Structures are given as structure tokens and as C-alpha cells.
Structure 1
């Protein structure tokens, strides 16, 4: 037998046998194909993980288990998926859908959908309460390229308010996110600007794509594609004035979904991109 092809064959078989590498993330499972474009996750108990997809997908919320297997789903009966970008939850178990994706900064129908605790509902259809809002700082739809500050893919619930973290679409790109808060109640609200934050300046990794607050309210995690910005020791609406730890998870995929499973465990999901993604991961904080 020719020795060179044999060695090449062994090398090929060895490479096929190697396990995928996920950096510092722990792989939990492959999400169902219904969640190719997963854009938000949240959980009330760590066992049932709720998920949504973004623009162009169904008006559905899905539940998966910690191994990423689909266990149930609901159709939102009275709201359309304009661009659902994140999920949040409150202490009563209600979850909130952020219908505020705004890539071109031209939407005037931004809203958040309050879903009554789906853990207690039967599978089928479910109705939501609508929380409308606008950014007072936006005067034109769309504004000029240097003012494209009104897209959003990340938010969380805290003390009867929803905190929105915007995604930088401006040119030149500065990696700047603005923090707004909106009352977590039905109405048409002016979002209040409470702070701003520069993550980093690489547009591939630095835009904020998800957010959550720990169950005990002491940690806030913002997500980018491969990075977590973790805030602690904050004592005001502008949590960016607290202590910041930047965490490189050493895995570069289209990560758009993050939530706390408990006070020290974070769950992350990424979108399907060619042969990568559509996975559920965990990350344990130090």
C-alpha cells in the first residue's frame, strides 16, 4: 500500500473524530430547525427555556428543555412578528417579547408584547398585552447615517421597568449603545434615556445582541458575538456606572440570545450560519 495516501487517510479520520470546539462555552444541545434564526431566550425555572425568532418568521414562542429539545410552542394570537429580537421575564413569570428590531431606523410602530406566564398555559394560542413606545431623541425616520442609534436587540425587566440597550448602526461605527427604560405596563410611552456605553469598536463583535439580569438583580449581562459584558455593583438606572468585566468566551458565531439560568449560570444561543450555530450553550461565571 502506498504509504503517503495511508498517512493522509489516517489524518483525515483523526480530524473527523475530533469534537467541535466551543471555546469557554459548554455545549448543551442542537436546537430544533424551527429556531434557525433564534433571537431571544429566557427562563423562569432553568428547566423550560422560552425562545423566539426574528423578522420574517412565525408569530410563535417555543419552549425547549436544557438539552435544547422542543417541548411545546404557542402562537401569539393578536400580534405580528415585525422583528422580535429578545425576551425578558418578570418575577411573576410573565415574559416580554421585544418587537423593536429596527435595522434601518425607520419604524414608528415599536412595541413590547407582554405574554402571561406561558409555563402555566396549555399549548395552542395565547393573547398578549401591547406596550408601545418611541425614542424622543429620534426626529427623522430614518435619520442620517451618523444618527442610526435606534435599533434594539436587547432588554431586561427590573423593578417594573424594561431596560432597552440599543445596537449601533451608525456610520462611522463607534460601538456605542444607549440605555433606555420603558414602564412595563400597557400604554404608549416615551422611552427615557438613562445612560450610554461603548463596548468596543469592531462591528463584527461589538454590537449588543442580547441582555439579561440575574434573578437576584446583582448582575447584568450584555451579549455580543463572542463577548459578554458583565456589570455588577451598580446602584442606579445607569448600570454602566457599576463595575464592568469584559468576558471573551473564545467562540465566534452569531450569538444573539442570552439569559441567566441562575445567579451564576448563563445560557447562550446562536443562529444557524452555514455549518455552525443553532446551538444552546451554558457559561459559568467565576
Structure 2
């Protein structure tokens, strides 16, 4: 079941609807694509690539057996940080624009001829280089708002969506589809209250889907209808929170008018112990049925939601606050808590018998992903969160 949690963060969301989840798990992806990122569906095959530091290679996946059917090397490219894919009638586009720290001056999209791709297992790519029109600071100040993981084709343009670690928003930039050096122009922006990880625009119905995750790493979709070359974030938007645990959805693509694929990458940490496998999912646009509309001028506050405490540990953080707020739905005694970074290193801890307070000061934490673990008598409960 999908959980729609509305807070003051969404005061600017035109429409937010409750929905029934229609996500189907197809199965585990092979190890060769354990770090799957972008997705497209072409010639009845699912095509994907791995992200930063991996080979400059595309993989075709059989959607029934989930085995690698074919590998295609992009001979003149380097995978600095490949994040997403898109396509039009003649070309495949690969976005090499992962940029967590905002320092890169070599952002690019690789363009590959479909004719060459279809006939050879070794292809060459043309380069579409770009810089953002409004970026002036390229220094390393930690996680930035200049990261990007989403790409789609809109007419004669490519649209790049930023993944903003500091403000939890996204900005849509346009660049020409032609090789050369370009300035990415701002099209639109939106306070999406999350980190955008993928996008696909279905030319059959002009529906745009975004994938992403919240500051507690809860995955979501955003469905947008009625976009235009100058308006990406319309009044017809629906956010759909996905009940997939800690699964980090990285890729999305359409197969036909109504059918879509989602992919998640492998994630493993030993302390706290968390492992998720690379999984392929599917859903049908019609299976996600809109339910009761929640008026945005009367948002449901997290303190008043009657269903939130169904979870053992609930985290939330108010915009601009240095306090991480939490709720524990358990009668067991709490012996303490610890905060870990993604390498498993303990950053902060406190031994506190009994029921703890409801806030933790995170003002000293740098911008990154962390894990909060509460320890009970014979078990523990862990949830991730993001510090901007």
C-alpha cells in the first residue's frame, strides 16, 4: 500500500493524491549490472548502464530471464559518473553528469547512433558538453545542488533535472541535442522535497515520470501531465510514495503507452547491517489509480496523522531546522542510539535508558546520508536520513 505523507513541505505542490500501488517485482538483476542507473527500452530489450567508475558499456537485459543478452562498448567514452539514459528516433543519449560536490567542469551527454548501435558491439559517441547557466561556484563545499541523475528528450532539446542535496528541490535545464559546447538554460524549477534519481517522458501520452527518494531514503514517483517546452512542472502533478523499504530506485523507462520499468541498484553496509539487491520492477500507468484528493491549503501535519505510528521508527525534519525529530512506536525500553555514515563509521551515539527525547541535534553533521539506529533490549531499529 502506498503511504502519502503530507507536511508543510508540500504547500507548493499543485495536486497531491493518494493512490494504490501497482508495483510488481520482476526479479533480481544480474551482477554485471549491480550498479544499474539509467534505463531505456529499445528493440524489445531493456538497456542499462552502471554508474560512476564502471566501464563505458551498455548492457541489454532480457526482461524474462533477467540475463545479460548483449554488451556494447562505447569505445571513445569514459564513465566518470553516468547517471541516466534517454532516446529519440535516431539516437541514444547517456548523461555523464553525476556531480555530487558541484566541482565538475566536464559535464556531458554522449550521443550514439541507433543505426551503429544496432549493427555493432563496439560504437563511438558524439559529445554534447555543457555548463549550467547559473553556476558560478565550483569549489568543494561538500554535497551541492549541482548534482544530476535524470535526463529525458523533449522535442529538439535534452532536459536535465538536478538532484539538489542542499535544498531538496530540482531544476530543469535544457540543452540542444546536437554535439558541441552548450550553456544549459533554466526551463523550470520545483521544491520537490526529495532527491531526483531518474526520469522518462513517454512520447505516446506525453506523461513524465520522475523517480527519487526522500530525506529518509523512502522511494517515490512523481507523475506529471501536460508539460510543454517551457513548463515542466505543471498543475497536474501526482506524488506516489512507494512502499519498497530502503530500495533506492535509480532508473525508469517506458515500454509502451502504459507499461514502465523501474530498476534499483545494489546497496550493502555492514554497520548498521543493511543489504539491498539490484531489482527490476514494473508497473502500469493505469494500475496506479488516483484516490481522494488532499487539499493543499489544509495539509495534514505529521503530528496529527493517525497512521504514522504504524511504523516502529518515524523520522522527519523541518526545513531549515538543525533538529532531527523522531517517533518510536514501541513499549520496549530504549538503551541508546547511534548515528552511522554510509561507510559504517559511528558518528554520534548516546546511551540513554528508558524512553528518549523526541529530537536529536544534527547541526554538526556534514551534508551526507546517515543511518539512525535505536537499540532495545534484544533488537534494534534503523532508518536512513539525509542531512542537506
Task: Give your verdict on TM over 0.5.
Answer: yes
1:1-286 paired onto structure 2 within 5 Å: 24-45=22-43, 47-67=44-64, 68-92=66-90, 94-117=91-114, 121-142=118-139, 148-170=144-166, 174-200=167-193, 206-225=194-213, 226-252=219-245, 253-274=247-268, 275-286=275-286
Unaligned runs of 5+ in 1: 1-22, 201-205
Report the Cα distance in structure 2 between the residues aligned to 1:256 and 1:122, rounded to whole angstroms.
28
CA distance in 2, matches of 1:186, 1:198: 31
- Count of aligned pairs between the two proteins: 253
Give the 3 Å change call, closer, same or farther, for CA 117–242 of structure 1 in structure 2.
farther
User: How big is each residue's C-alpha offset from its partner over 1:82-128, in whole Å with a ceiling of 9 and x where there is no partner?
Assistant: 10000001123x21000000011000000000011168534531100
Q: Secondary structure at the match of 2:196?
A: coil
SS at match of 2:195: coil
The 4+ residue runs of structure 1 with deviation greater than 4 A are 143-146
Is the 1:154–1:208 Cα contact (8 Å) retained in structure 2? Answer: yes
Post-superposition shift, 1:55? 0.7
TM-score (norm 1): 0.83
Taking structure 2 as the reference length, what is the TM-score of the superposition?
0.62
Conserved 8 A contact 2:116-2:123: no
* Offset at residue 276 of structure 1 (A): 2.1
Provide Cα deviations, 1:49-93, integer angstroms capped at 9, x if missing partner. 11011111111111112122211011110011010000001123x
Q: CA deviation at 1:30?
A: 1.9
Closer/same/farther in 2, CA of residues 24 and 116 from structure 1, 3 Å limit = same
Shift of 1:158: 1.6
Q: Which has the higher strand share?
A: 2
Distance 1:118 1:34, change over 3 A: farther
In 1, Cα distance between equivalents of 2:107 and 2:205: 26
Query: 1:233 offset after TM fit, Å?
Result: 2.1
Q: CA deviation at 1:266?
A: 1.5
Q: Answer 1 or 2: which has greater helix percent.
A: 1
> Secondary structure of 1:154's partner?
strand
Contact 1:40 1:87 in 2 (8 A): yes
